[in-house]
Amino acid sequence: MKFPDLAVARLHLPRAPELDLHLVVPAAVRSLVEKARLPAGTRVAVTAGSRGITNISIILRLAVSTLRAAGLEPFVVAAMGSHGGGTREGQTAVLAGLGITPARVGAPVHVTAEAVPLGLTPAGLPVFCDREAAEAGAVLVINRVKPHTAFRGNIGSGLCKMLAVGLGKQEGAAVVHSFGPSGMESAVAEIARFMLARLPVMGGLAILEDGYGRTARIEALPPGDWPLAEAALYREAVALLPHLPFNNVDVLIVDTIGKNISGTGMDTNVTGRWGGAGSGDGDLQARRVVALRLHPASHGNANGVGLADIVPKALADAIDVRATYLNAITTTLVERVKLPMVMPTEKLAIAAALKTCGNQGDDLRVVRIKNTRQLELVAVSKPLLAELLAKKAGEEITPATPPVFTAQGELMDPVEGW
């Protein structure tokens, strides 16, 4: 069959001014240290999650060195809920894949699968916390603030979620997700407030990223009403979120999915897929979604694969069922891990998607992205290119040409640096 020609375009995404991390991070941490007035030698647990946050190892290293310069004893703790298969070994591997190692951050990295109960919230929600963090003299919470991939609201994913779900380990994550998308935000807020009252939290660093995935802002939040404070940061994060400037698409090709890219493998805020395959309740309506590869740093966790309609056999073979299903059971969103149609190669997977859209050749509205975090470069068919240019939402980099496949049916990068 004939594949539609695709042109490479550069999107115009929200851009923030350049940030000097070596000035901003130490200043933010020092402001929290001064307010906390901790005794010298206090052991400070610094949280590290499983998301691919830009510059996270640098941010952690700068935070650690600033704490140590203040006479404190920092160490890093794994705060990723049930990710990494919920095991010490799995979570250690996830952190290492993100560059979070003792050598890179300049401090010990403590990983445990053990959570200790902290009590019940006023509404009766059980609260859990990573044992290492619970036993520390102070806790510094670090996380990116961005829209969540399972619910929409006022706080999304950020410091509150890092407390309730990240430090809550598998038990805490299960409590929050048991409320489903409609109740998760209120559960996160209530548990976070409880943990702030029970744990020696010295403060938090909220990270915002712009549309190009660059660190846009780092805000120091002292202990207080974090759900209220995060609401303002969340609105800013929404404005910085990259998106595809299209509504109706026939085929969306996502080169790579993975937990390191998004909690749902491919960000639902980008793909428009919030339910299972075939659903389109976001801004982007895609008739077919093809996911081609699972990122190695996802360690076999293919959460979100069920949001695709078709995948090649190589992706299906790369799935670690235990890690993937544990994630789905914890979140209760089992439809997101259902196996889509499996085709022998990437070429045949894309061909099946095109064929089931009517096989209209160059009239098909096709967009290809590297992943849902890197949207600066996209490959689009002629109808979408015309729409993109008319909206002045991007610029053409290469003229439309047929996609190129290897002899094994793997889709080649359209340009160098893709």
Local confidence pLDDT in tens for the 418 residues of the chain: 789 999 999 999 999 998 999 999 999 999 999 999 999 999 999 999 987 899 999 999 999 999 999 999 999 999 988 777 778 888 999 899 889 999 999 999 999 989 999 999 999 999 999 999 999 999 999 999 988 776 777 888 899 999 999 999 999 999 998 998 889 999 999 999 999 999 999 999 999 999 999 999 999 999 999 999 999 999 999 999 898 999 899 999 999 999 889 889 999 989 988 765 444 444 688 999 999 999 998 999 999 999 999 999 999 999 999 999 988 888 888 999 999 999 999 999 999 999 998 766 778 999 999 999 999 999 999 999 999 999 999 999 999 999 999 999 999 999 998 9
| pLDDT attached to residue 278 | 45
Tokens of 112: 């445990």
Tokens of 115: 């959570």
Which residue pairs, CB below 8 angstroms and at least 24 apart, start in 178-187? 178/332, 180/332, 181/150, 181/151, 182/151, 184/148, 184/150, 184/151, 185/148, 185/151, 185/153, 185/154, 185/155, 187/125
Q: Give the residue range(s) of CATH 3.40.50.11440 domains in the chain.
A: 21-240
Tokens of 157: 């994913």
Q: What DSSP string describes 323-388?
A: HHHHHHHHH--GGGG---EEESSHHHHHHHHHHTTT--GGGS-EEEES-SS--SEEEEEHHHHHHH
Cβ-contact 212, 243 below 8 angstroms: no
Q: What is the largest CA-CA distance in the chain?
A: 71
- Total count of residues recorded for the chain: 418
Cβ-contact 388, 394 below 8 angstroms: yes
User: Quick check: helix, strand or coil at residue 302?
Assistant: coil
244: CB partners within 8 A, 6+ apart: 11, 270, 284, 367, 369, 375, 378
The superfamily CATH assigns to domain 21-240 is LarA, N-terminal domain (3.40.50.11440)
Query: Any alpha helices (H) in 14-109, and if so which ranges?
Result: 21-36, 56-69, 88-97, 102-105
Strand-pair partners of 367: 252, 380
| pLDDT attached to residue 265 | 93
- The radius of gyration of the chain from alpha carbons, rounded to an integer in Å, stands at 22
User: Quick check: helix, strand or coil at residue 417?
Assistant: coil
d(CA 277, CA 275): 7
Q: What DSSP string describes 87-132?
A: SHHHHHHHHHHTT-SHHHHTS-EE----EEEEEE-TT--EEEEEHH
pTM of this prediction? 0.83
Tokens of 52: 């691919």
| pLDDT attached to residue 252 | 97
d(CA 326, CA 340): 18
| pLDDT attached to residue 275 | 65
